[in-house]
A = this chain, B = another copy of it.
Amino acid sequence: MKITILRNYARLIARTGVNIQKGQDVILRCGLDQPKFVELLVDECYKAGARKVKVEFEYQPLVKLHVRHQTVTTMAKVEEWEKVRLQHYVDTLPCRIYLVSDDPDGLKGVNQAKMAKADQKSWPVIKPYSDAMENKYQWCIAAVPGAAWAKKVFPGLPKGRAMEKLWEMILFTSRVTDDPVAAWEAHNKDLASRCAWLNSLGIAELHYKGDNGTDLTVGMIPEGEFKGGGDTSLKGIFFNPNIPTEECFISPMRGKAEGIVYATKPLSYQGQLIENFSVRFENGKAVEVKAEKNQALLEQMIAMDEGAAYLGECALVPVNSPISESGLLFWETLFDENAACHLALGMGFADTIKGFEDKTLEECRALGINDSMIHEDFMIGYEGLDIDAITRDGKTVPVFRRGRWAF
């Protein structure tokens, strides 16, 4: 990959992605796959004004060893110094960049129940800090190729060529052109106009219907708003949490979902793939799941906490998005969620409430935003999906037809 385009990409993440403010700290979490790109990105973070960039390298195979050998108590333990560090992050609000490159099957065989137990045990300690930071700092998830991931996306290509091809596809779908900052401004404008139209309808319910058996009605929060593309933190800083992104999304009303929905792509959860599954909802809650592969893992996922069985997000993405048109299955949510309409189980986004800036997190949740330690997207869109909006004044407005925007 040419250095100039990679530098454009790094600059896009630092500026359009997290939009680093002068003197702000940056925490960059990444794998060991692309150190040269990490170097470029750190340089661009400093050039954008960062005070200090802290890189936290992670190596997936070590996770398996930790889970195998540590006790649940050790895994779940949050040391005193780690709490002081969390408080430091609450006080200083560093931006966070996550560079995704992991093998989608990288945690195959790990003891999921043990991992889940540890997460559940540590969450009550971490949650107050997490809540205190919610919507206050800029963050961005972007991707770089890893060897195992590239082989998974392009199984027929030799390793080097697969890596190259994955770089090409990441850069293409992320709109990394000669002037990606301008390309993202135009793209954000387009997403914003779709959201404005949706928000003008006064939607009470979305009705999903597909010839694959999907027939699901999801209730909206009256104060809810569709959002897409860039976002603004509570500190008033505009940023783009996902590169790429194609979705208009909203958090639905907790407790209002009826019917069944069929996944149209596998879900990668904690390094393992759940395939060919359906979820049936009653009174907003997932009461029955069926999966051809990893059903137990899916059941465990929705039992992580009280909110894990409720919806946190409805996202609209046409089947003619660049990612969808690439025809590739990326085996990675960041991409696959932008190739098709999807739902998420678990935590909802308080910032989809109109005027959330003046509300507490608790007030947003009281309006119907779901709360959970998980947030897991799963794809339901495809060429056969229709979506209607049932408005508060009783009209039915077509939103999607045959997987595409109806307007």
Contacts and interface: CB of A to CB of B under 8 A. Distances in A.
A68 B38 CA distance: 16
Given A39-B62, A79-B88, A69 B46 contact: yes
Given A65-B42, A84-B81, A55 B51 contact: no
A52 interface: yes
Contact of A39 (B47, B52, B65, B69): B65
Contact of A62 (B42, B51, B59): B42
A81 B57 CA distance: 20
A81 B88 contact: yes
Interface in A81-96: 81-82, 84-85, 87-88
Given A35-B32, A84-B81, A55 B62 contact: yes
A38 B55 contact: no
Interface in A13-72: 32, 35, 38-39, 42-43, 46-47, 50-53, 55, 57, 59, 61-62, 65-66, 68-70
A68 B81 CA distance: 29
A74 B51 contact: yes
Contacts of A87: 81
Contacts of A211: none
Given A38-B59, A55-B59, A84-B80, A46 B32 contact: no
A59 B57 contact: yes
B59 A35 contact: yes
Interface in A348-376: none
A9 B88 CA distance: 40
Chief secondary structure at chain A's binding surface: helix
A354 to B, nearest CB: 37
Contacts of A53: 65-66
A23 to B, nearest CB: 10
A224 B80 CA distance: 40
Which of A47, A50, A53, A81 is packed against the most chain B CB atoms within 10 Å? A81
A59 B58 CA distance: 12
Contacts of A61: 35, 39
A51 B65 contact: no
A84 B47 CA distance: 31
A45 to B, nearest CB: 9
B70 A80 contact: no
A127 to B, nearest CB: 19
A68 to B, nearest CB: 8
Contacts of A80: 84, 88
A43 B65 contact: yes
Which of A47, A50, A82, A84 is packed against the most chain B CB atoms within 10 Å? A84
Nearest to A70: B52
Contacts of A32: 32, 35, 57
A108 to B, nearest CB: 15
A70 B39 CA distance: 15
Given A38-B59, A46-B69, A52-B70, 4 more contacts: A35-B61, A80-B84, A81-B85, A81-B87
22 contacts: A32-B32, A35-B59, A38-B59, A39-B62, A46-B65, A46-B68, A46-B69, A46-B70, A50-B69, A51-B70, A51-B74, A53-B65, A55-B62, A57-B57, A79-B85, A79-B88, A80-B84, A81-B81, A81-B82, A81-B87, A81-B88, A85-B85
Interface of A: 32, 35, 38-39, 42-43, 46-47, 50-53, 55, 57, 59, 61-62, 65-66, 68-70, 74, 79-82, 84-85, 87-88
